[in-house]
Amino acid sequence: MKTAVTGRRTASAVLTAALLVPLAACGGGEEKKSAAPDSGAALTVLAAASLTDVFKTAGAAYEKAHPGTKVTFSFAGSQELASQVKNGSPADALVTADQKTMDGLKSDTGTPAVIAKNRLVIATGEGNPKKVAALKDLANKDLKVVLAAPEVPVGRYSKKILDAQHVAVKPVSQEPSVRAVLSKVELGEADAGLVYKTDAATATDKVDAVDIPDAQNAVASYPAATLRTTKNEKAAAEFVKWLSGPEAQKILRDAGFQQP
C-alpha cells in the first residue's frame, strides 16, 4: 500500500514538472522580447549644414552597429543651432562648424571634442564660365558673388580670408548657411561663392571648385558635444565618442573632411 502511494506521488511530481517546463520557456521568451526595445535609444543630433551628406552616411553606419538605436539629424547653420539650444529645443547632441559657436554654449553642453576639419574653396558654375581663378577675382564688379552671412561660421571664415588678402567683395546676397550659398551657385543665381571644400564635392555635376592656397585659406573645426538637456545621456555620450572613432573618421575622410 505504501509503495502504491509513493508511486502516485512520483507520477504527480513528474506531470507537474512537465507542465511547468513549457510555461517557463514561454515566460523566458516574453521577458527577452520585452527587454529588446530598452536596449536602444532615439537620439536627436543638431548638426551644421555642411555635415548634411556625410552625417546621413554616418548615421546609417551607427544604427547598423548599434541595433535598436535611431539617430535623427537636424541640419542648419551653426548660429541657428545655437539659438535652438538656448531656446531649449529638445536634442541630445550638437556638432557645429566652428569652435566659437560651441564655446558660447559651455553651460549647455558637455566637454566638446573636435571630430573633423575643413577648408574653403570658390564654387563657380559648371565649367567656370567666368574664369574665376583666385580670391582677387571675386572683387570683379561684373561678377555676382554670394557669401554666407557674417554670423554664420563659413561667413566669418570668408570675411577673414578676403580681408587678409585685401579683397573687397559686395555680395549680391548673404545666406544663412553654406548650403544656401552652394544652392545659389548651383541654380545660376550667382557666378561664384565661398563654400567648404566638402560641400562643393557634393555637387560636382553642377559646380566647379577653385582651390584656395593654404596660405590664403582658413581651417574650419567641427566640435561635437552632448547637450545637458538630453534624456539619453549615456547613448548621447556614446554617439559623440563614436564620431572620433575609426569607423566615423573613415566616413568623414572619404567625404573629404580633414583629420581633427
Q: pLDDT, tens digit, for every residue of 173-186? A: 999 999 999 999 99
pLDDT score for 22: 42
Amino acid (1-letter code) at residue 220 = A
Q: What is the pLDDT of residues 92-108, one digit of tens each?
A: 999 999 999 999 999 99
For residue 175 the three cell numbers come to: 545666406
pLDDT score for 100: 96
| Strand 42-48 with 70-76, pairing | parallel
Give 248's pLDDT tier (boundaries 50, 70, 90): very high
Half-sphere exposure of 30 (CA within 13 A, CB side): 6
Measured N-to-C along each axis, helices 52-65 and 233-243 cross at an angle, to the nearest 10 degrees, of 120
Give 39's pLDDT tier (boundaries 50, 70, 90): low
Contact call for residues 102 and 225 (beta carbons, < 8 A): yes
Mean pLDDT of the chain: 89
Cα 14 from Cα 34, distance rounded (Å): 31
pLDDT score for 214: 96
Contact call for residues 119 and 220 (beta carbons, < 8 A): yes
Among 22-36, 72-86, 88-102, which stretch is predicted with the lowest mean pLDDT? 22-36
Q: Measured in whole angstroms, how far is the alpha carbon of residue 217 from the centre of its chain?
A: 23
Q: What is the rounded average pLDDT of the residues 228-254?
A: 97
| pLDDT top residue among 81 and 7 | 81
Q: What is the rounded average pLDDT of the residues 216-225?
A: 98
Q: What is the pLDDT of residues 107-137, one digit of tens each?
A: 999 999 999 999 999 999 999 999 999 999 9
pLDDT score for 122: 98
For residue 111 the three cell numbers come to: 566637454
| pLDDT top residue among 38 and 155 | 155
pLDDT score for 20: 42
Longest dimension (CA), the chain: 116
pLDDT score for 139: 97
Q: Which residues pair with 124 in a beta bridge?
A: 192, 208
Given a cut of 70, whether residue 29 has pLDDT beyond it is no
> Which structural domains are found in the chain, ordered by start?
40-117+220-254 (3.40.190.10), 119-219 (3.40.190.10)
Cα 173 from Cα 146, distance rounded (Å): 5
